[in-house]
Amino acid sequence: MGLKDECGVAGIFGAENAASLSYFALTSLQHRGQESAGIAVSDGKSVRLKKELGLVSDIFAPADFEKLKGSIALSHVRYATAGGRTLENAQPFLNTFKNGSIALAHNGQLVNHASLREKLEDGGSTFASNSDSEVILKLIVRKFIEKGGKPGSGKSLPQDDDLFVQAVIEAMKEIKGSFALCIMTENMLIGARDPNGIRPLCLGTLGGESLPLAPANANASSSATPSAGSIAARNARSISYILASESCAIDAVNGKFLRDIEPGEILVITKEGLRSEKYACEKKKTCIFEYVYFARPDSVIDGIPVQAARYRMGQTLALESKTEADVVIGVPDSGIGAAMGFSKASGIPYVTGIIKNKYIGRTFIAPTQAERENMVFVKLNAIKSDLEGKRVIVIDDSIVRGTTSRRLVEILRRAGAREVHFRVSSPPVKFPCHLGIDTPSKAELISSTHELEEIRAEIGADSLAFISLEGMIQALRSSSSEGKEGWCEGCFSGIYPV
Closest Cα to residue 242, out of 397, 436, 26? 26
Beta strands 391-396 and 419-424 are parallel
Other CB atoms within a 10 A radius of the CB of residue 323 amount to 15
Residue-wise DSSP of 129-149: S--HHHHHHHHHHHHHHHTT-
Answer yes or no: 281 catalytic: no
Residue-wise DSSP of 273-319: EEEEEE-S-----EETHIIIIIS-TT-EETTEEHHHHHHHHHHHHHH
Q: Are 34 and 4 in contact (CB under 8 A)?
A: no
Q: How many CA atoms lie within 13 A of 232 on its CB side?
A: 3
Give the E-state strand segments of 22-133 in sequence order. Answer: 36-42, 47-53, 72-78, 93-97, 100-110
Identify the active-site residue in 7, 182, 248, 488: 7
Bond from prior residue into 333 cis (ω within 30 degrees of 0): yes
Closest Cα to residue 35, out of 3, 81, 73? 81
Q: Measure the CA–CA gap between 498 and 195, rounded to whole angstroms.
A: 10
Summarize the chain as % helix, strand, coil (round to 5): 35, 25, 45
Q: Measure the CA–CA gap between 87 and 106, rounded to whole angstroms.
A: 15
Asked whether the CA dihedral 84, 291, 447, 453 is positive or negative, the reply is positive
Q: Are 54 and 365 in contact (CB under 8 A)?
A: no
In the beta sheet, which residues pair with residue 203?
243, 259
For residue 395, the 8-state DSSP code is E
Instruction: Give me the amino acid identity at 459.
Output: I
Q: Are 431 and 448 in contact (CB under 8 A)?
A: yes
Q: Measure the CA–CA gap between 310 and 315, rounded to whole angstroms.
A: 9
How distant, in Å, are the alpha carbons of 1, 417, 438, 459 from that of 369? 13, 27, 14, 16
Closest Cα to residue 333, out of 307, 369, 371? 307
Q: How many CA atoms lie within 13 A of 471 on its CB side?
A: 21
Q: How far apart are the first and last CA of the chain?
A: 25
Active site residues: 7
